[in-house]
Amino acid sequence: MASEKKINKAESKEEPEEHTVEKIFIGVDFGTSKIAITTSNGKSIVEQNVVGYPKDAISSKFLKKEVLYGSEALKHRIALNIHRPIECGVLKTNKDDIAAAKGLLEYCLESMNLPEGAEKYAILGVPAKASVLSKKILTEITKDFFTGVMVASDPFCVAYELGLLENVMIVDIGAGTTDLCRVRGTLPEPEDMTSFGKAGDYIDDALIKSITSDYTSAMVTKEMAKRWKEKFGFVGTPLKDCEVDVPVDSSTIKLSIVQEMKDACESIVPSIIEGITSLIATYDPDFRDELRANIIISGGGSQIKNIDEYIEEELSIVGGGKVSIIKEDPFTAGSKGALKLAMDMPDDYWKKLI
């Protein structure tokens, strides 16, 4: 009887509950100007893609840090050696910039206070024509932070966020590159995408060159040009005057830069028209009209005033097209789309990456 009681007692023991590991899905848009991260547990961050190191012992003591990231690095850039690890949408391959990019990603993830011990599955948005080497380097530097990681085209991630997955063309105007992708209900193939280096940074450089050629004593920095572009940037007919304070020698003068701004912003449009018409010309003839009717401008460049109307007018000369601007936040649409794609990926796919 005693042994029977022991057996019954053993049989009545409850099985220990199986510990469930939390899963977090993450979308990352590692752009030339900004890095944007969005997570499935409601966290998000947008930070400047800049890393700074103190120039000497004095700046190190003054700043009380050995490395500064993002907007804080820009704020103190005069005392720092600045690294911009992404150039023309591609991660630079020297060890200092790779280390800077990895440090910036770690800084952003730590700032988001994600749960310790959680499994993290991430999709990284990359330019439409990112090289195999660039994708490999990005994947390698992020493996320390994620359980599973894969890359996807930035403009496709935007389309995925919008839920527009058939006969749509995304024109993603970033800082380093303008990426075009036609979406036809599947993951895009290389022939569905094109990319070129005329984008936000190109506009900034053109604006600086135009102003300094007209006013030889003017001193215009990259940050000034970017700030003016973000405030006044337009194509076509100007909506208002563009009056800015320009440093000249030891003083500052007010200048109207309407024509310079117009020329700089319009300088990227011919390449966009060429890219759009090329992708239309090689599309299935039965669906070209639908593709023409669904051209969406995204990225920071979508904030250039009149950009949709101007491109639509230019397209009227070569067969027409209907152009609209993304209604989502242009700086987070890519990371949100990458997150959405990560969440929709089958578990079996992630298991193959681990």
Residue 274 has pLDDT above 90, yes or no: yes
Question: pLDDT tens digits for 118-132?
Answer: 999 999 998 887 888
Distances (CA, A) of 256 to 11, 238, 242, 260, 267: 87, 12, 5, 9, 19
CA dihedral 301, 296, 27, 196 (to 10 degrees): -60
Contact in structure between 195 and 178 (CB atoms under 8 Å)? yes
Percentage of the chain beyond pLDDT 90 is 73
List own/partner pairs for 348-352 with CB under 8 A and 24 or more apart.
350/121, 350/147, 350/148
- Residue 10's pLDDT is what? 47
The pLDDT confidence band at residue 170, using thresholds 50, 70 and 90, is very high
CB 304 within 8 A of CB 235: yes
Which domains are delineated in the chain?
A: 23-154+332-353 (3.30.420.40), 200-266 (3.30.420.40)
Buried b (16+ CB within 10 A) or exposed e, 265-277: bbbbbebbeebbb
Measured in Å, how far apart are the chain's first and last C-alpha atoms?
52
Q: Tell me what the mean pLDDT of segment 42-64 comes to.
A: 93
Contact between 68 and 51 under an 8 Å Cβ cutoff? The reply is yes
User: With 80 as the cut, is the pLDDT of residue 327 above it?
Assistant: yes
128: Cα separation from own chain's centroid: 11
pLDDT at 19: 58
Distance (Å, rounded) from C-alpha 96 to C-alpha 102? Answer: 10
pLDDT score recorded for residue 92: 84
For residue 129, give the DSSP letter: T
The conformational region for residue 2 under phi > 0 = left, psi -120 to 50 = alpha, else beta, is alpha
Q: Which amino acid is at 148?
A: G
Tokens of 116: 């310790």
pTM: 0.88
- Residue 79, Cβ neighbours under 10 Å: how many? 16
- Tokens 């990681």 correspond to 149
216 CA to centre of own chain:
35
Do 330 and 302 touch, CB atoms closer than 8 A? Answer: yes
Q: At what angle do helices 222-232 and 258-266 cross, to 10 degrees?
A: 90
Q: How many Å separate Cα 278 from the centre of its chain?
A: 24
CA-based nearest residue to 25, from 40, 35, 36: 40
Contact assessment for residue 170 and residue 155, using Cβ atoms and an 8 Å cutoff: yes
pLDDT at 351: 66
pLDDT higher than threshold 50 for residue 32: yes
Kindly give the pairing relationship between strand 295-298 and strand 323-325: parallel
What radius of gyration, in Å, describes the C-alpha atoms of the chain?
Answer: 25
Please state which of the ranges 108-117, 122-131, 196-205, 256-265 shows the lowest mean pLDDT: 122-131
